[in-house]
Every structure is written in C-alpha cells, then in structure tokens.
Amino acid sequence: MAPWGERLAGVRGVLLDISGVLYDSGAGGGTAIAGSVEAVARLKGSRLKVRFCTNESQKSRAELVGQLRRLGFDISEGEVTAPAPAACQILKERGLRPYLLIHDGVRSEFDQIDTSNPNCVVIADAGESFSYQNMNNAFQVLMELENPVLMSLGKGRYYKETSGLMLDVGPYMKALEYACGIKAEVVGKPSPEFFKSALQAIGVEAHQAQ
Amino acid sequence: MAPWGERLAGVRGVLLDISGVLYDSGAGGGTAIAGSVEAVARLKGSRLKVRFCTNESQKSRAELVGQLRRLGFDISEGEVTAPAPAACQILKERGLRPYLLIHDGVRSEFDQIDTSNPNCVVIADAGESFSYQNMNNAFQVLMELENPVLMSLGKGRYYKETSGLMLDVGPYMKALEYACGIKAEVVGKPSPEFFKSALQAIGVEAHQAQ
C-alpha cells in the first residue's frame, strides 16, 4: 500500500461514517471508539473538508448529534448526511406522499412531509414497528398504486447490538419487493447518489475524497 | 383443446386444490364454491383416485377437514396432502429440531416434533405472529448454525381475504434468505416433491394424473 502522504495527494475532503466508526451504539448512549474524538478534532483542524455520512435511521439527526456531542465529538447537525433528510428532499421534488414504515425515533425528520392519501412507501429500520399489520398496510398501499414506489433507507441485512444480531431494513425491503414484484429505490449507502449528495455539501468531487 | 374423453384417456388420478377451488375461506368457515360439493362426490364415485392437495398452513388438517365437512364435502383427514405434515416427515427423517415461526392454528401438527435446542427454522403463513421479535428469533437461530436450514411451507406472495390482500409466507421467506444469505427449501406447492408425495399416497404416476 502506498504511504499516507502519497495516498492523500489530491484529497480535499473526507467522508466519515458514524456508527461503528466514531462510536458503538448501545445502552446509555453508547461509547466513543478509542481515538475517534481526537481524530475528528484533528481532521477538522486540518485543510480537509469533513462530512459525516451515516445510514442511521432509527433516530433524527438532532438526537444523533446530541448523543455524539455528549461523547465529546465536535459535530453539528448541518454536517451530517443521513437517509431520512435525503428521502424528504426526493419526496418533495417528486410530489410523493409516503406511507411511513419507520421507527418512531426518526419520525420528526418527516414533520414537513404530507402523508395523507399515500402514493408511495418509505421503509426504514423500524425495529419493533415491523409488525405484520404495518407490513401489510405498506403492502396494500403499494398494491393499489399504478406505479408503486418503494423507497428504502439503506438495505443493510443486520446489525449488532449488545443483545445480539438484529434484522435491519434490507430483509423487509426484500419482503415487499417480492410481495409486489417491484424493485425498491435505496436512499442511503451504498447508493452513489447518496455519497454524491454528501460530497456536494462540502463542495468536493468524488476523486478528491477519501 | 381436445375433448374431455380424449384428454382423460390414461388418467387414473386427480389432485384437487382446496382453498379457492372447493371453497372460499372467510368469516364463519367460508362458503363452498358452486358445484364443488357435487363435483367431489362424482369424482369419488368414479374409477378415478382422488387426493386433496393444499398449501393451507394456518390450520391443521383436522380443522380444515371439519370445516369442509360442515360445508357438505365428503372428505377425511387421510385424503389431504398439506405442507405441515410433509414438513414433519422431513424433519424426522433428517433429525432436525425446528424453531417454529408458524400460526398457532397449525401448531398441533408439530406436536410430535422435538423443538428443543433448534437446528433449523420452519416458517409458514404465520399472520400476526410475523412480529419483529419472532422474525429476529428465527434469524438468530439461523445465524448461529454452521449449516443453516430454512424450511418454508409454500412461497406464496399474498392471498385475498374479505378484508383485502394479505402477505403470505413468501415475503418473509425472502426476508430471512436475504438476511442470512441462504436459500430456503420450499415444502408445499409448487415443489415437485410435494406433488409427488400426494400422487404416491394414491398410487398414481405423474403422467396418469390430472
């Protein structure tokens, strides 16, 4: 592997993941990963542009940032690219009114979105809210649409909590895809559009980012 | 299309579906489809062997047959091929102890099956029992196995009830397949083994069946 100096030549910006990179989530707000608070501080003190890019979709950016600040991170809401606000922008642009199959913790991100008479479904890591009733509601909304739109905030298979492995949004996205014979639009990583929007926010081109 | 006499030349047995063919399920035990009680009686009075072949997996054969008899059908439990008993036979043959993600109505079919310390998952049309907690339990069982076995009783996308379309087992099978990176074994239609077992029960070869 090339030495750091060489690898960073031409690099103008850095995208940082949050969960599992800056901190481990868990009871009581989680814990900072050793060295990460200092690493963020050094990056922000350097000539590099920094943007936080997360697939977190069980909580709002406000809540997430509050948690990180309590752990000692220098971070503000405006520095975070997350799937829920990205989805809201797409919904507005396309005049879509979603049925929301999401975790209550992230619902506030959709406060400005019209959810009456839904003409699409937005699915996120809903945890316990992935009941049969809620899944069936989402399914019925999709089946009644001429052009069903299913937007999925990420497509992760599972994640790890202190209590064990937990199903993420991906399996439920696949369930609705199969039930309706459609393909979901993924908002969040690994979608290239999502990374691009994070880079746009700091005015950096893809080839200048690390 | 060839006339009936010609089409039936060489036919020795008939497999009949139940739900949507003999009766429509619904409140109060459902209703017989016009002419079906008489058709079954004529078939059973003919030289043809008859077997009922269903993917019903929300109720036991005993309950299903009781319901059909009340609607006037001449049918007994021993004439029905259904996924749950077929799965039980496979579980016994292979020494598998399932975690059961099934509807309470069909649980009695698994009375003789050892479910301690599970080494596989059996998933069926569980309805309201498809909670996040139960899905996650099934997922965790599979992820802890060296050779994860997921058995699915059918793979239907959805079915119709008087209250509207309902998600069937297929979407939830797909969810676990994606979460664990595995492929389920389908017990029930359209699996060729399932049809074969129905034909074996009446001693008829596939080319002799209608």
CATH number at residue B25: 3.40.50.1000
Is A131 part of the contact surface with chain B (CB cutoff 8 Å)? yes
Of the listed ranges A49-58, A114-123, B23-32, the one predicted with least confidence: B23-32
Check CB contact under 8 Å for A167 and B127. no
Question: What average pLDDT score do residues B139-166 get?
Answer: 94
pLDDT digits (tens, 9 = 90+) for A17-29: 999 899 987 777 8
Is the Cβ–Cβ distance between B88 and B113 less than 8 Å? yes
Residues B156 and B195 in one domain: no
**Residue A181 banded pLDDT, cuts 50, 70, 90:** very high
Residues A204 and A177 in one domain: no
Question: What average pLDDT score do residues B91-108 get?
Answer: 97
Residues B54 and B73 in one domain: yes
Residue B127 per-residue DSSP state: G
Residues B77 and B87 in one domain: no
Confidence (pLDDT) at A148: 98
The total of structural domains in chain B comes to: 2
For residue B158, the tally of other CB atoms under 10 A from its CB is 20
Question: What average pLDDT score do residues B57-85 get?
Answer: 96
Question: What average pLDDT score do residues B57-66 get?
Answer: 95
CA-nearest residue to B143 within chain A is A165
A181: left (phi over 0), alpha (psi -120 to 50) or beta: left
Predicted TM-score (pTM) of the model is 0.91
Question: What average pLDDT score do residues A161-169 get?
Answer: 89
**Residue A5 banded pLDDT, cuts 50, 70, 90:** low
Domain membership flag for residue A5: no
**Residue B210 banded pLDDT, cuts 50, 70, 90:** confident
Confidence (pLDDT) at A17: 95
Task: Show the domain range for A180.
Answer: 83-187
Residues A46 and A87 in one domain: no
Residues B50 and B62 in one domain: yes
- Give the residues across from B81 on adjacent strands: B53
pLDDT digits (tens, 9 = 90+) for A106-142: 999 999 999 999 999 999 999 999 999 999 999 999 9
Is the Cβ–Cβ distance between A134 and A168 less than 8 Å? no
Check CB contact under 8 Å for B132 and A130. yes
- Taking the CA of residue B135 and the nearest CA in chain A, the distance in Å comes to 8
Is residue A81 over pLDDT 80? Answer: yes
Residues B156 and B91 in one domain: yes
Confidence (pLDDT) at A21: 93
Check CB contact under 8 Å for B127 and A130. no
Is B160 part of the contact surface with chain A (CB cutoff 8 Å)? no
Domain membership flag for residue A7: no
- Taking the CA of residue B4 and the nearest CA in chain A, the distance in Å comes to 36
CB contacts, 8 Å: B177 with chain A = 174
Residues B175 and B152 in one domain: yes
Residues A91 and A64 in one domain: no
Domain membership flag for residue B94: yes
Confidence (pLDDT) at A49: 96
* CA atoms of B173 and B176, how far apart (whole Å): 5
- Taking the CA of residue B176 and the nearest CA in chain A, the distance in Å comes to 7
Domain membership flag for residue B6: no
CA-nearest residue to B177 within chain A is A171
Residues B47 and B113 in one domain: no
Largest Cα–Cα distance in chain B?
A: 57
Select the more confidently predicted residue: B205 or A162.
Answer: B205
